[in-house]
Structure 1
Amino acid sequence: MTMTCMKKDNRTHQVSAEDDVSIYHEKQSRELCALHALNNLFQESRTFTQKELDEICNTLSPASYINPHRSMLGLGNYDVNVIILALQHKGFDTMWFDKRRSPSDLELDNIFGFILNIPTDLRLGILHLPVQRKHWVAIRKVNGDFYNLDSKLNRPLLIGNNQQLVAFLKEQIQNKDKELLLVVKHELENDVWRRSAPRSQGIPPKSNYIVNNGQFKESGV
């Protein structure tokens, strides 16, 4: 887990190591990318701990001998239900972005951040196993620009301004296996984060935010 000081490089959209913008960035450890995504989203160390996420797993399935919301080995691999409940504890609601719509429909100023769920290959040493798992990635605006805070990156990756973020999100959700989770403050009305549109064309009701166990899971590979 590292705190990285960065400077934007407009030529490459990479982030250089000069002290200009301070960005908190946790790097990948074991199967804890959901934990890293949450802490990177809040830009603060130990906003959540592995112990707290394990406790949420037990809250979700208190009577389960093998908890379906995390790795049976206790290494992490938390599913989306853990992320959603953890964010609720901090006063935030979550919703899956309806990929039939365009990210340009979003009112970005009313969205706290994003968590991208992407497929990743499972490795055993140098071997690639024929198994795909899911990896959680935080996206957040810091000091006026959006950054990709993927824990697998050596350092945060500059996305840019609102227009550049929309282009980035459009490219990401073109992949049918990638899903985008919106994070908004609890006190906001459901429609504040998006531009006017019939409710039937938008995100499903809140009762549908929690997905079936194991549908979307974190990868620690």
Structure 2
Amino acid sequence: MCLTMRKKDNQVYTQEGGIYHEKQSRELCALHALNNLFQDRHAFTKRDLDNICLTLSPEAYINPHRSLLGLGNYDVNVIMAALQSKHCDIIWFDKRKNIDRLQLDNILGFILNVPTDFSWGVVHLPVYRKHWIAIREINDTYYNLDSKLNAPQKIKDVLVFLKEQIESKEKELLLVVSSEISEAGTWYQDNVVTQERVE
């Protein structure tokens, strides 16, 4: 259940008093982002995501939802299906909206999609791919759980951090919410004045 991600639910943390943080392996940043988001190394496996790819395109000779060699590089459709299996939804944040109106208490976490250079060992190639990064609150502090980091990084002000990220047209922000919150639309405060009048 997605609700096990409650902000003060310590039982999903895999390190005593610490934070679960998967580091980058092959092209598995989507897998790492999901497991880091759920703070659980058993949330998903590569096999789970590969099975989702096959479910999404069962007749495809070359599956369009992962890399040609099957090493990862999963697309957003795989992430969405994976989250739906945990009773969660993704909200693609419209950059025209005011990020300050996000209802953080109703958002379970964030996934950023950012461009990254492609490297082969120590050689960096002039090819850019997309990279998935999880951000979530743990023990009242938000953390950047990027699998390319050596360790989780504390985020002083998550709204400022997210604003800076989405200033780039190359970056996209996805909100992870429970299915109930998604349906109710209560992840965003559309009009404070209207709500106050209703109350």
In which range does the TM-score fall when normalised by the shorter chain?
Answer: 0.7 to 0.9
- Structure 1 or 2: larger strand share? 1
Distance 1:73 1:63 in 2: 17
Cα–Cα, structure 1 residues 139 and 55, in superposed 2: closer, same or farther, change >3 Å?
same
2:175 aligns with 182
Matched residues in 1 for 2:148 and 2:184: separation? 32
Task: For residue 24 of structure 1, give the secondary structure of its aligned residue in structure 2.
Answer: coil
Distance between the aligned counterparts of 1:54 and 1:102, measured in 2? 36
1:57 maps to amino acid: C
Matched, 1:168 2:161: yes
Amino acid at match of 1:114: F
Q: How does 1:111-150 map to 2 (within 5 A)?
A: 111-150=107-146
Alignment of 1:56-75 (within 5 A): 56-75=52-71
Which runs of no fewer than 5 residues in structure 2 stay unpaired? 1-13, 192-199
Between the aligned residues of both structures, percent identity stands at 63
How far has the Cα of 1:191 moved from its partner?
Answer: 1.9
Q: Which of 16, 25, 28 does residue 24 from structure 2 map onto? A: 28
In the alignment, structure 1 residue 92 sits paired with structure 2 residue 85: no
Q: Secondary structure at the match of 1:34?
A: helix
Provide TM-score, normalisation by structure 1: 0.77
How far apart are 1:129 and its partner, in Å? 1.8
Deviation at 1:72, TM superposition (A): 1.5
Secondary structure at the aligned position of 1:22 is classed as: coil
- CA separation of 1:98 and 1:190: change in aligned 2, threshold 3 A: farther
Cα drift, residue 4 of structure 1: 5.5
Normalized per residue, the structure richer in helix is 2
**Counterpart in 1 of 2:154?**
158
Post-superposition CA distance 1:156-210 (Å, at most 9, x none): 00003xxx1000000000011000001000012342000024xxxxxxxxxxxxx
Letter in 2 for 1:185: S
Which of the numbers 76, 83, 88 marks the counterpart of 2:79? Answer: 83
Q: What does residue 104 of structure 2 align with?
A: 108
User: Which amino acid in structure 2 is aligned with residue 180 of structure 1?
Assistant: L
Match of 2:187, as an amino acid? Answer: W
CA RMSD of aligned residues (A): 1.5
Task: For 2:97 and 2:54, locate their aligned partners in 1 and report how far apart those are by CA, in whole Å.
Answer: 35
Equivalent position SS for 1:29: coil
